[in-house]
Homo-oligomer: A and B are copies of this chain.
Amino acid sequence: MPVNLKQLAELLGLSQTTVSRALNGYPEVNAKTRQRVLKAVRETGYRPNRAAQRLATGKAYSIGLVMPIASGIGSDIHFGEFLAGLAEEAVKHDFHFVLNPSAPEDEEATFRRLAASGNVDALFLAHMRANDPRIAILKSLSIPFVVHGRSIGGPKDYPFLDIDNTAAFYDATRLLIQLGHRRIALINGQEHLAFAIRRKKGVTRALKEWGLDLDETLVHHSVMTDEYGYRSMQRFLKQPDPPTAVLCSSTALALGAVRAINQAGLTVGTDISIIAHDDVLPMLKPENFSVPLTTTRSSLRAAGARVASRLIGGILDRGAYPDQELWRAELIVRASTGPASVKNINSRKRV
């Protein structure tokens, strides 16, 4: 039988008002009194009743999530991982979720309904596309939100958390160039997604700085699964002048690419270099690849947790968070990258 405010106040010989204020950090409470209250809370294990708080404050203490059910997104491994981070953080603060599976064409209606329902205090948005129309919709909805990722074009002033995809792939490409690679391929995510566009831009930029051009025949866009990584790599290797290095937008793609490379009788790291972006999925660790993978790393789960923090912090008016965050991915060099030597190129040609 949990104690409630009234009992706690009685126990302390204080009024509910004072106890409530002590707990919620109001300044007009004597420091000693607050200490007494806090102690009593610890001893009794008092936890405020969320339903009552919701009723009294009008806050929902929950976060709305629109879960895309379009092919290849909803049940994407990446979504689960991000969600885990989000949930982890939410649970700490006793926040709930309202998960709204929604087809892309219904998304706008879903947002509106959700915002109007009063069931959520804030919304979360992901899978940004170029010129994503959802940002304008959310801005018009007067409900706080945070975007994971960034659109390209359109309004600039909205809260987001993104990683610097351009920089990550610029850095990765630069490393490859420094190692002597000149023909560099890119196995990327779907073409309409903002992160994929930025990553390609990073590659292009680095090449350009060295006076090189990105060969469009060495760029593939697809859903980021093992399977597509394999197919893309296979096609690259069949080209008359195949790449000596390849960048993959996910470890899943890299898994397939590695298989294609091995199957062609080539060795990762010596014959062909490979760098993948690593979302730190527990299923797919780059260090466990037969040839450990050089990666640009940024934890998706951590991003989820951070987004939740910001959303919750905003709702509770606690802590000041930057409105726009751009995380820098780490470039971690492992065995899958090596110099592009003449010998490599020859051995490759022989296949």
Interface residues of A (CB under 8 A from B): 2, 47, 49-52, 54-55, 60, 62, 67, 69-72, 74-81, 83-84, 87-88, 90-91, 94, 96-101, 117-119, 223, 225-227, 230, 255, 259, 263, 281-283
B97 touches A97 (CB 8 A): yes
- Residues of chain B contacted by A282 (CB below 8 angstroms): 69-72, 74-75
Bound Cα distance from A69 to B280, whole angstroms: 13
- Residues of chain B contacted by A119 (CB below 8 angstroms): 50, 94, 96
* CB nearest neighbor in B for A96: B96
Among A51, A87, A117, max chain B CB count under 10 A is at A51
Name the distance in Å between A232's Cβ and chain B's nearest Cβ. 14
B51 touches A55 (CB 8 A): yes
A98 touches B98 (CB 8 A): no
- Residues of chain B contacted by A227 (CB below 8 angstroms): 226, 255, 259
Q: List 11 A-B contacts (CB under 8 A).
A: A51-B54, A51-B55, A52-B55, A55-B55, A67-B87, A74-B84, A76-B77, A80-B80, A83-B99, A91-B98, A96-B97
A81 touches B74 (CB 8 A): yes
Given that A60-B51, A80-B80, A226-B227 are known contacts, is A101 also in contact with B87, CB under 8 Å in the complex? yes
Given that A54-B54, A283-B223 are known contacts, is A101 also in contact with B84, CB under 8 Å in the complex? yes
- Residues of chain B contacted by A259 (CB below 8 angstroms): 227, 230
Name the distance in Å between A113's Cβ and chain B's nearest Cβ. 9
Bound Cα distance from A228 to B142, whole angstroms: 47
B94 touches A99 (CB 8 A): no
B94 touches A97 (CB 8 A): no
- Residues of chain B contacted by A283 (CB below 8 angstroms): 71-72, 75-76, 223, 225
Bound Cα distance from A88 to B106, whole angstroms: 13
* CB nearest neighbor in B for A71: B282
Bound Cα distance from A228 to B43, whole angstroms: 52
A96 touches B62 (CB 8 A): yes
* CB nearest neighbor in B for A98: B96
* CB nearest neighbor in B for A77: B75
Name the distance in Å between A212's Cβ and chain B's nearest Cβ. 33
Bound Cα distance from A84 to B69, whole angstroms: 8
* CB nearest neighbor in B for A300: B75
Closest 8 CB pairs of A and B: A51-B54, A75-B80, A87-B99, A75-B81, A96-B96, A51-B55, A75-B77, A84-B101
Bound Cα distance from A76 to B281, whole angstroms: 10
B88 touches A101 (CB 8 A): yes
